[in-house]
Chains A and B, each alone.
Chain A
Amino acid sequence: MNFELTEDQNMMRAMVRKFAEEQCLPGLEERDEKEEFSRALFDQMGELGLTGIVFPEEYGGVDGDYISYAIAVEELSRVDASVGVTLSAHVSLGSYPIYKFGTHEQKLKYLKPLAEGKALGAFGLTENMAGSDASGTRTMYVADGDSWVINGSKIFITNAYYADTYVVFAQSDRSKGHRGISAFIIEKGTPGFTFGKKEKKLGIRSSATYELVFEDCRIPKENLLGEEGQGFKIAMKTLDGGRIGIASQALGIAQGAYEAGLKYAKERVQFGKPIAEQQNTQFVLADMATQIEAARLLIYQAGYLDSAGKPFGKQSAMAKLYASEVAMWVTTKAVQMFGGYGYTREYPVERMMRDAKITEIYEGTSEVQRIVISAAVLKEF
């Protein structure tokens, strides 16, 4: 048992923190205000190798581990949760299924540029009638000669519009339920593939969220990912890993809010002394620090299991459930600590609280995580 990060992991943290503070922080408020996605920041992350941490060198990655990846998402989100989710959705959702289920040719053609950060990835699963229950997928596909033809639409797709490569799930026969779902790799610019409305969101406003629209979108046969009918499994397996990313995003948001609160508590004087010297503030800070550390340990445990090739679905669900609820709690308390100022855009905690909420919702709501966890624990006995 070893609770120390490796030298590499510590250096990674220092590097990503510096990158986030120097490159993501300037312009952050404006991007949030204007709901502006920054492709430039993604490109920089690609150059730094952040997009390829968990993938093999053969496919453009750097052969790193999931804890390093979790650290990267955490450190980005500590400053800017929108940039954090851009990386998380790109790696865990856009790239991972191709790595895990793609053929060698698919990996060379699609994973390599994704891992190198030359292409941006996205993942199209959610529909208006298929949220937590993916088996309700209504986007349909049919085989037609050398092609698949896809019709339907996907909503709330992170990185969409800007992304180059999309992993999209479609149904062949609704009577088959989740067994009828298959996964496809679809390139931006494919005729029949367009974008619908851009979502206006409460938080993570500078991450891109669009609707995908498929109208007789014809893609080559070789762009089927995995086997026909394997889509649901691919989606579930992908979301297992994705939870580590979102848990890390939540952790980063919580850490950022906690640090802001800590700093403010030392500066803000009320009733003749800094609020940090008042016990109610001290207790809040103690609870924040404890919960953040607990969330961190859960995430690193899940990351360790994933890197070691061991089952990690339960742990990643626990990490995601806990970290996202910690993020919501810590940011809410941080706003409270700042009082009226906390509610204004003069201070960052207001944005952090808005950003935190989504971590309880996307890539499996807290309720879905509880289903996953309870199913796992009930099976254990």
Chain B
Amino acid sequence: MNIVVLVKQVFDTEAKIVLSSNTQISADGVTQIMNPYDENAVEAALQLKEAQGGEVIVVSMGSQKAVEALRTALAMGADRAVLVDDPALIETDEFTAAQVLAKAISTQNYDLILSGKVAIDGQSSQVPARIAEILGIPHANVVTKMEIKDGKAEVTREIDGGIEIIEMPLPAVVTAQKSLNDPRYPSVPGIMKAKKKELKTLSLADLGLSADEVASKMAVLEYSLPPARQAGRLVQGDPAQAASELASLLHSEAKVI
């Protein structure tokens, strides 16, 4: 059972966003972490490996900053890592990321590809499904339960208002919901072993890709910070008065109930 896990280094959820220009989000001084849902994907891969043997390969696309996410995954127990880092990949969209990552994955032996259901920075939830499409294999998103046996994956995934159970032949792409598992912390021995594990950095040329082939479809024209919300009105009075006043404000002033 060889498992590829896609991981991404993202801003910590507590990070404040500062723009260095209207087309640039500043990363200065921002704590970065492995995308939280990717931790669930890594955990799922490690559990499968522990149960069925095989290898866990973590793959990321990004600058050298992404090395931290890969090292963290290695410290959790992944076997080796592949990073695609190329100056042509600084501004990319999901189309580009999927083309590049699919190519990197196709150089590996894989039975299963896992990733988080969404990256909390760009939050587009596109790349895994696009990769599945490029590789010509099925995918299942937002998975809360997964069982792998006899060359098949049986997964439970969240849909609006319920769940559904899907069976797919391997190889397949599965994206992890938080409730899939409780990701382990990298242990101290794991951290110490991580630096001895292979971490290969590849450029577009190494993958046999040209920048044109993978050029973005979408472009960011401008970033802007949402207008600050003004603190509104404190409704005064004893609890009964305040509740009554609030209900009538919501009804007649805000007109929302």
Contact = CB atoms under 8 A, between A and B. Distances in A.
Do chains A and B make direct contact within the complex (CB under 8 angstroms)?
yes
B192 to A, nearest CB: 6
A49 B195 contact: no
Contact of A7 (B185, B188, B195): B195
B186 A15 contact: yes
Nearest to A18: B185
A12 interface: yes
A11 interface: yes
Nearest to B72: A11
A62 B185 contact: no
B135 interface: no
Interface string A321-358: 00000000000000000000000000000000000000
B187 A49 contact: yes
Contacts of A256: none
B185 A12 contact: no
Given A62-B192, A64-B192, A7 B187 contact: no
A89 B229 CA distance: 48
Interface residues of A, number: 18
Contacts of B190: 49
A8 B195 contact: yes
Interface in A40-72: 47-50, 52-53, 62-64, 68
A62 B71 contact: no
Consensus secondary structure, chain A interface: helix
B75 A11 contact: yes
B146 interface: no
Contacts of A12: 188, 191
A217 B133 CA distance: 72
A8 B108 CA distance: 28
B82 interface: no
B29 interface: no
Interface in A1-59: 7-8, 11-12, 14-15, 18-19, 47-50, 52-53
Interface string B188-204: 11111011000000000
Contacts of B33: 14
Interface in B57-111: 68, 71-72, 75
Contacts of B75: 11, 15
A48 B194 contact: no
A11 B188 CA distance: 9
Interface residues of B, number: 15
Given A8-B195, A11-B72, A19 B185 contact: yes
B189 A11 contact: no
A50 B188 contact: yes
Contacts of B71: 7, 11
A11 B194 contact: yes
Contacts of B194: 11
A47 B77 CA distance: 14
Contacts of B188: 12, 15, 48-50, 52-53, 62, 64, 68
A76 B75 CA distance: 20
Contacts of B191: 8, 11-12, 15
B7 to A, nearest CB: 15
Given A7-B71, A11-B72, A11-B75, A48 B185 contact: yes
Contact of B187 (A8, A47, A63): A47
B15 to A, nearest CB: 14
Contacts of A14: 33, 72
B187 A11 contact: no
Contacts of A68: 188
A18 B194 CA distance: 18
A18 B71 CA distance: 16
Contacts of A52: 188
Contacts of A8: 191-192, 195
B187 A48 contact: yes
A52 B188 CA distance: 9
Interface in A53-98: 53, 62-64, 68
Nearest to A44: B185
A375 to B, nearest CB: 35
B62 to A, nearest CB: 17
A158 to B, nearest CB: 22
Nearest to B191: A11
Contacts of A15: 75, 185-186, 188, 191
Contacts of A19: 185
Listed residue (B185, B186, B187) with the most chain A CB atoms within 10 angstroms of its CB: B185
Nearest to B194: A11
Listed residue (A12, A53, A68) with the most chain B CB atoms within 10 angstroms of its CB: A12
B184 to A, nearest CB: 9
Interface in B193-233: 194-195
A20 B68 CA distance: 20
Nearest to A63: B192
A67 to B, nearest CB: 13
Listed residue (B72, B189, B194) with the most chain A CB atoms within 10 angstroms of its CB: B189
A63 B195 CA distance: 15
Contacts of B189: 49, 62
A48 B191 CA distance: 10
25 contacts: A7-B195, A8-B192, A8-B195, A11-B71, A11-B72, A11-B186, A11-B191, A14-B33, A15-B75, A15-B186, A15-B188, A15-B191, A18-B185, A19-B185, A48-B187, A48-B188, A49-B188, A49-B189, A49-B190, A50-B188, A52-B188, A53-B188, A62-B192, A64-B192, A68-B188
Interface of B: 33, 68, 71-72, 75, 185-192, 194-195
Interface of A: 7-8, 11-12, 14-15, 18-19, 47-50, 52-53, 62-64, 68
